[in-house]
């Protein structure tokens, strides 16, 4: 795509962000990515579509260079009025084989779109910096291949993909979540997040403190303080977002 930037003709990748975070129009996911990318934000033309309050621009999606799906407070098996737009987005992406990074809710919705079940995790909520085990194929994956039981990723979810979609390839898992990452065509789907800055993860933990104490996700105040101090470890997953955008 040719756009004009500072009066010069330059080529920039156009990345469409499908934002499913909240029901009111927001720039939450765009803001998260700006915080993570820093100066590299200038290398991409980021265009956000907030599905809860905007129509899906099919032509924009068809002509972009890559797509990033955000997480969400929703569960894919719930009824909500923009669910049809999520299906339409994945139909276009799959038809055009667009490079896509689908995180958390995005990964779950892809599986749901392909006919797999998404359920509440019987092992309970997963929150905080976690490590993942990569399959043999995962260990050769260009975006996550060096994360095998080494680097941290950030997780915040209570739902999981129960069964891998047909023709999808499992890339990663851990004790809490049997499907942490999978590849389907041109889409890298991760249950964990590579798209959340630490300040946002701290806000989430603070807001959910009492809920997580009641659920046993947090043992006590000391555990809360410890986890709060360790959330920055999840920044190691930000490299995946950088690599995805560089690969598009």
Give the CATH number of the domain where residue 189 resides: 3.40.50.880
Structural domain contains residue 218: no
Domain that holds residue 157: 2-196+235-247
Q: Identify the bridge partners of residue 68 per DSSP, sorted by sequence position.
A: 17, 101
Structural domain contains residue 95: yes
| Domains of the chain: total | 1
- Listed in order, strand segments (DSSP E) in the chain are 2-5, 8-11, 13-19, 44-50, 66-69, 100-103, 118-120, 126-131, 133-134, 152-157, 159-161, 169-173, 181-184, 187-190
Q: pLDDT digit of tens for each residue in the chain (248 aa)?
A: 333 334 344 568 999 999 998 765 555 888 999 999 998 888 899 999 999 889 999 999 999 999 999 999 999 999 999 999 999 999 999 999 999 999 999 999 999 999 999 999 999 999 999 999 999 999 999 999 999 999 999 999 999 999 999 999 999 999 999 999 999 999 999 999 999 999 999 999 999 999 999 999 999 999 999 999 999 999 999 999 999 999 99
DSSP-assigned states of every residue in 81-144: TTHHHHHHHHHHHHHHT--EEEETHHHHHHHHHTT--EEE-TT--EEEEEEBEE-HHHHT-TTT
Please state, in angstroms and rounded to a whole number, the distance separating the CA atoms of residues 160 and 105: 9
Structural domain contains residue 221: no
Structural domain contains residue 128: yes
Q: 133-134 and 126-131: which strand pairing?
A: unpaired
Decide: 182 and 164 in contact? Cβ < 8 Å.
Answer: yes
User: Which two three-digit tokens encode residue 144?
Assistant: 């996550």
Look at residue 206 in the predicted model and tell me its pLDDT: 97
- Which CA distances in Å does 190 have to 39, 53, 164, 177, 240? 25, 25, 12, 11, 10
Please state, in angstroms and rounded to a whole number, the distance separating the CA atoms of residues 169 and 190: 12
Please state, in angstroms and rounded to a whole number, the distance separating the CA atoms of residues 194 and 217: 22
Look at residue 21 in the predicted model and tell me its pLDDT: 84
Structural domain contains residue 202: no
- Which CA distances in Å does 120 have to 107, 116, 130, 227? 14, 14, 19, 23
Structural domain contains residue 114: yes
What length does the chain have? 248
Residues 6+ apart with CB under 8 A from 17: 29, 30, 33, 46, 47, 48, 49, 67, 68, 70
Structural domain contains residue 66: yes
- Which CA distances in Å does 198 have to 114, 230, 235, 241? 32, 10, 7, 15
Structural domain contains residue 203: no
Please state, in angstroms and rounded to a whole number, the distance separating the CA atoms of residues 88 and 179: 24
């Amino acid at each position: 795509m040719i756009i004009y930037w500072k009066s010069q003709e330059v080529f920039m990748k156009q990345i469409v962000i499908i934002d499913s975070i909240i029901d009111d129009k927001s720039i939450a996911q765009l803001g998260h990515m700006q915080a993570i990318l820093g100066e590299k934000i200038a290398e991409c033309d980021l265009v956000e579509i907030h599905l809860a309050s905007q129509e899906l621009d099919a032509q924009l999606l068809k002509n972009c260079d890559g797509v990033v799906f955000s997480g969400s407070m929703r569960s894919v098996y719930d009824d909500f009025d923009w669910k049809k737009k999520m299906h339409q987005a994945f139909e276009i992406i799959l038809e055009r084989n667009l490079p896509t990074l689908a995180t958390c809710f995005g990964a779950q919705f892809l599986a749901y779109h392909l006919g797999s079940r998404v359920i509440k995790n019987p092992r309970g909520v997963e929150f905080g910096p976690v490590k993942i085990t990569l399959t043999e194929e995962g260990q050769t994956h260009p975006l996550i291949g060096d994360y095998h039981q080494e680097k941290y990723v950030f997780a915040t979810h209570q739902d999981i993909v129960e069964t891998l979609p047909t023709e999808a390839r499992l890339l990663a898992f851990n004790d809490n979540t049997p499907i942490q990452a999978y590849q389907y065509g041109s889409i890298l789907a991760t249950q964990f997040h590579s798209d959340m800055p630490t300040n946002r993860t701290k806000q989430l933990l603070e807001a959910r403190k009492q809920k997580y104490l009641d659920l046993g996700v947090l043992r006590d105040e000391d555990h809360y303080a410890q986890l709060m101090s360790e959330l920055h470890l999840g920044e190691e997953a930000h490299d995946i977002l950088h690599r995805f955008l560089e690969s598009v």
